[in-house]
Amino acid sequence: VRRFGILSEVADASIMKLVINLLMPCLIFASIVGNPRVKDPANFFVAPLAGFAATCASMLLCLLLAKYVFRFKGLQDGPAQSTFAVATGLQNYGYIAIPVLAKVFEGDLLGILMLHNMGVELAIWSVGVVIYSGRLSKGSFKKLLNGPTFAVLISMALNGLNLDVYVPQVASSAISQLGQCAIPVGLLLIGATVYDYCGRPEFSLK
């Protein structure tokens, strides 16, 4: 689609905003609201805690490996080691995990994954920022104030107050259908971006 001009670079920013601020929140809402697994108090606390702890541990482990084990030429300075730690320590917790989980396991588990991903986001914008830049600023946590975060909070509030049963069927159906577009549209955008980078001389395989 990028090669034949169907998806131009001009549209990338708008599509990204669409995915983050509409499609992904719809997927989160449809996965959490009314989900009996998410209503379990244990899952409510354990899932985000597991995401936060696992992500922090993997980034810190990669930082130790970069500093004391992988003494390659490109990993001998601090910025390179920090970049390696954050990039390598992060697992793909969205665009691969979501479709695999939805295909292999029951749909109810998708809501648990969304809570887990909240913990991952918190780890990225706290410990990840400290590893990468060496300091933590107020602006880092502002990154958490986005569509997916608000979708989780609103969905959990509806569940906690037992208001999920009052969500109109026509609304929940429309939200669910929009949510199903999140991963395919996001993957299209990722593929177009990869195509752009593959065309640059520094990424040439020749």
Rounded to two decimals, the pTM is 0.86
Q: Are 206 and 54 in contact (CB under 8 A)?
A: no
Other C-beta atoms lying within 10 Å of the C-beta of residue 67: 16
Work out the end-to-end distance of the chain between its first and last CA atoms, rounded to an integer number of angstroms: 24
Per-residue pLDDT tens over the stretch 67-82: 888 877 778 888 889 9
pLDDT at 206: 53
Rounded Cα distance, 136 and 7, in Å: 37
> Measuring CA to CA, how many Å separate 56 from each of 91, 119, 148?
11, 10, 20
pLDDT band at 205 (very low <50, low <70, confident <90, very high): low
Per-residue pLDDT tens over the stretch 137-153: 777 777 788 899 999 99
pLDDT at 18: 96
Can you read off the two tokens belonging to residue 145? 């104030």
